[in-house]
């Protein structure tokens, strides 16, 4: 076995184990840390595919940004020592059935389909190429989605501030 195959096996194991822990752990902070491990292992997969830029984005934005945001909101809204009650057996059973059935269908489809190979050599993506295509207006340019995403981020930021700020005390009586 090559080193890359061993690395892939490690990342796959980490992703599967910690994904299951993310959705089954009864302590919310442990679930968040498992999610962090999954996201870091995904960045490792991107390194294996030699997409260094995406791996860096994954580490900074997902593992750095979103997980910190989630942990902050956990600390604001939950008791750390609180454990979730057990899921009803019926609900867990049917959810697992739906998930396993879907996974079986998709995996059989994947394994039965033969993908047409492109024999071009896998090259590392040049960082200059990424920057140029992000801001290019031509055929291979992505300036329109780039601008749309920046407007979306501004809208999301303003929306988050407006939603989360405290309203005036007369209007926002808590419904008890």
Partner 1 sequence: MIMNSGIPLEFYLVLATVMFFTGIYGFLTRRNLITMLMSVELILNSVNINFMAFNRFLFPGKLEGHFFSLFVIAVAAAEAAVAIAIIINIYRRFTTINVEDVNQMKY
Site for partner 1 in 64-103 (CB under 8 A): 65-66, 69-70, 72-74, 76-78, 84, 87, 91-92, 95-96, 98-100, 102-103
Note whether 23 binds partner 1 by CB under 8 A: yes
Note whether 10 binds partner 1 by CB under 8 A: no
Note whether 40 binds partner 1 by CB under 8 A: no
> Which residues have a Cβ under 8 Å from the Cβ of 50 and sit 6 or more positions away?
122, 123, 124, 125
Of positions 10, 127, 143, 149, contacts partner 1 by CB under 8 A: 149
Burial 2-26 (b: 16+ CB within 10 A, else e): eeeeeeeeebeebbeebeebbeebe
Q: Which is nearer to partner 1, 81 or 121 (CB)?
A: 121
Alpha-carbon gap, residue 137 to 149, rounded angstroms: 15
Q: Which is nearer to partner 1, 15 or 138 (CB)?
A: 15
Q: Which is nearer to partner 1, 111 or 168 (CB)?
A: 111
DSSP state letters, 30-55: HHHHHHHHHHHHHHHHHHHTT-HHHH
> Which residues have a Cβ under 8 Å from the Cβ of 100 and sit 6 or more positions away?
none
Q: How far is the CB of 137 from partner 1 (least distance, A)?
A: 15
Q: Which is nearer to partner 1, 166 or 170 (CB)?
A: 166
Of positions 10, 12, 127, 143, contacts partner 1 by CB under 8 A: 12
């Amino acid at each position: 076995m090559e080193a890359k195959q061993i690395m892939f096996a490690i990342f796959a194991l980490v992703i599967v184990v910690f994904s299951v822990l993310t959705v089954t752990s009864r302590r919310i902070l442990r679930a968040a840390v498992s999610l962090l491990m999954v996201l870091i292992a995904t960045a490792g997969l991107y390194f294996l595919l030699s997409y260094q830029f995406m791996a860096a984005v994954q580490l900074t934005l997902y593992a750095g940004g979103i997980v910190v945001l989630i942990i902050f909101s956990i600390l604001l809204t939950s008791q750390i020592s609180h454990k979730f009650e057990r899921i009803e057996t019926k609900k867990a059973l049917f959810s697992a059935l739906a998930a396993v059935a879907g996974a079986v269908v998709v995996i059989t489809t994947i394994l039965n389909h033969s993908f047409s190979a492109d024999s071009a050599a896998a090259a590392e993506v040049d960082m200059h190429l990424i920057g140029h295509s992000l801001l290019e207006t031509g055929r291979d340019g992505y300036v329109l989605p780039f601008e749309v995403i920046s407007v979306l981020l501004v809208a999301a930021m303003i929306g988050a501030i407006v939603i989360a700020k405290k309203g005036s005390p007369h209007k926002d009586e808590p419904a008890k």
